[in-house]
Amino acid sequence: MTTQPAVPVTDFDVEAVRARFSSLRGGFAFFDAPGGTQVPDEVGQAIADALRDASGNLGAPYATGRAVEAILDRAKADAGRFLGCTPGEVSFGMNMTTLNFDLSRAAGRDFREGGEVLTTELDHDGGVAPWVELAADKGMQVRVAQATDELTVDYDDLERQLSDRTRVVAFAIASNATGTIADAQRICKLAREAGALSWIDAVHYAAHEPIDVHELGCDVLLCSPYKFCGPHLGMSYVRADLAESWRPYKARPSASTPTGRKFETGTLPYELLAGFSATIAYLDSIGGLPALREYERALGEHFLENLPDNVTVYGPQSMEGRVPTFLFNVEGVPAEQVASRLGERGVGIWSADNWYCVALGPRLPASSLRAGVAHYNTRAEVDRLLEELAAVTR
């Protein structure tokens, strides 16, 4: 394998970043970010501090109650800033999928038989299954817009499937399988013109690209902090006037103001919210998503430009229209065998079948490999991955 000239990168100090992660000190190269990132030590410390100093609940008329309230207020403000919305439009939940089931149920109370929800082949099932179950209960239909041969959204097919029966257009901005990015503004506009809600799964996208919900023009957006160096949580935005029109499923005495509280169905994990705020502070301290985006994309380009001849990547062959997540196979070697071998040699990638993209599954190989670049990866680690892939067939 001949290595191409280095792709220019920013002044992003990856070694200073890595020093903040104890998990990176053992020399293992983690390329499993699409399944969940490593977590900086300060996030774990914030969680531990909250358990020690703020183990209580809202409303307690003493110090721990006030501490919990401060944690929640800060987490809402941090989430609002991260998503480009007001703190009152943010809801937290156990994870994206659970929160999505809750929100879709609230939204669907008034849906009627014959209505339709439009999804895409590239969607993670956490963004589809809630609508499948709601449709089964309501006598509705879930339609699927096809993907192109390059595994991007087929906008012509999506537009053809919109009608006056469409109630929701639910889609992933970035595919967790192929890394391809959808034109969210275009899809949200099409949904709006059809009189439907635009409902975005940004779990994979939020780890790599800045988000502004008003710029996207969406009605609902969900993501997961554990995909961008935070704790296991789900997080959502629902447009305020829309949220006010929904009746939530929750205990009646539980707070329903501001509007985001309507969809938080029980006691929140306040220690994880403290960890979330520490995550946002960490990202801010390294320049935020714009800084890590440029660095990650340079590593992604380096990976694609130096692929050994025995590797086939599915989807776009450059960083145009994608995040640095790559679905591929090594010629002549089962994916499970490749993943196992690389894991034994200190390089972490996964193998799977449909990668939770159920509709896309039949168009994918029976099993494939996925590697994802995070901002704590180094060029030397990418070269290790490339060398190991080249060596598998030797």
Residue 327 backbone dihedrals phi, psi, to 5 degrees: -105, 130
Q: Scan for tokens 């053992």, then name that residue.
A: 26
On average, the pLDDT of the chain sits at 95
In this prediction, residue 255 carries a pLDDT of: 85
CATH of the domain at 293: 3.90.1150.10
Q: How far apart are CA 280 and CA 371, in angstroms?
A: 25
Least confident range of 56-60, 194-198, 335-339, 344-348: 56-60
Residues 71 and 174 reside in one and the same domain: yes
CATH of the domain at 224: 3.40.640.10
- Is-contact 75 81, C-beta < 8 A? no
- Checking 153-162 for CB contacts under 8 A at 24+ apart, the result is 153/120, 153/122, 153/180, 153/182, 153/183, 153/187, 155/183, 155/186, 155/187, 158/118, 158/120, 158/187, 158/190, 159/190, 161/118, 162/118, 162/190, 162/191, 162/194, 162/196
Q: Last residue of some domain: 257, 283, 309? A: 283
In this predicted structure, the answer to whether residue 2 has a pLDDT above a threshold of 70 is: no
The CA–CA distances, whole Å, from 126 to 13, 184, 219 equal 35, 18, 18
Instruction: State the pairing for strand pair 311-314/325-330.
Output: antiparallel
Centre a 10 Å sphere on the Cβ of residue 28 and count the other Cβ atoms it contains.
14
38 within domain boundaries: no
Residues 253 and 297 reside in one and the same domain: no
Residues 221 and 347 reside in one and the same domain: no
How many structural domains does the chain have?
2
In this predicted structure, the answer to whether residue 4 has a pLDDT above a threshold of 50 is: no
Residues 18 and 100 reside in one and the same domain: no
The CA–CA distances, whole Å, from 218 to 125, 189, 205 equal 20, 8, 15
- DSSP string for 295-342: HHHHHHHHHHHT--TTEEEES-SSSTTB-SEEEEEETTS-HHHHHHHH
Max distance between CA atoms of the chain, in angstroms, equals 68
207 within domain boundaries: yes
Residues 253 and 304 reside in one and the same domain: no
Q: Scan for tokens 């989430």, then name that residue.
A: 79
Side chain identity, residue 376: Y
6 within domain boundaries: no
Q: How far apart are CA 92 and CA 207, in angstroms?
A: 17
With pLDDT > 90 as the criterion, what percentage of the chain qualifies? 93
Residues 98 and 183 reside in one and the same domain: yes
In this prediction, residue 336 carries a pLDDT of: 97
What are the pLDDT digits (tens) for 260-310? 999 999 899 999 999 999 999 999 999 999 999 999 999 999 999 999 999
Residues 135 and 57 reside in one and the same domain: yes
Residues 259 and 296 reside in one and the same domain: no
Side chain identity, residue 343: G
35 within domain boundaries: no
Q: Scan for tokens 């935070």, then name that residue.
A: 230
Q: Last residue of some domain: 239, 256, 283? A: 283
Side chain identity, residue 44: G
Centre a 10 Å sphere on the Cβ of residue 52 and count the other Cβ atoms it contains.
9
Residues 187 and 266 reside in one and the same domain: yes
In this prediction, residue 10 carries a pLDDT of: 52
40 within domain boundaries: no
Q: Scan for tokens 């207020």, then name that residue.
A: 73
Q: Last residue of some domain: 283, 306, 323? A: 283
How would residue 393 be classed by pLDDT, with cut points 50, 70 and 90? confident
In this prediction, residue 324 carries a pLDDT of: 98
260 within domain boundaries: yes
What are the pLDDT digits (tens) for 135-181? 999 999 999 999 999 999 999 999 999 999 999 999 999 999 999 99
Reduced to 3 states, what is the DSSP secondary structure of residue 67?
Answer: helix
In this prediction, residue 33 carries a pLDDT of: 96
Residues 356 and 273 reside in one and the same domain: no
Where are the extended beta strands (E) located within the chain? 29-30, 90-93, 116-120, 141-145, 166-172, 197-201, 220-223, 234-238, 311-314, 325-330, 347-348, 350-352, 368-372
The CA–CA distances, whole Å, from 359 to 16, 27, 145, 172 equal 41, 37, 10, 13
Residues 62 and 151 reside in one and the same domain: yes
25 within domain boundaries: yes
What are the pLDDT digits (tens) for 181-190? 999 999 999 9
279 within domain boundaries: yes
Q: Which domain holds residue 320?
A: 14-30+289-392
Q: Which are the contacts of 224, defined by CB distance < 8 A and separation ≥ 6?
A: 95, 96, 203, 206, 232, 233, 234, 235
- Is-contact 331 312, C-beta < 8 A? yes
Residues 173 and 272 reside in one and the same domain: yes
Closest by CA position to 326, among listed 339, 335, 317? 317
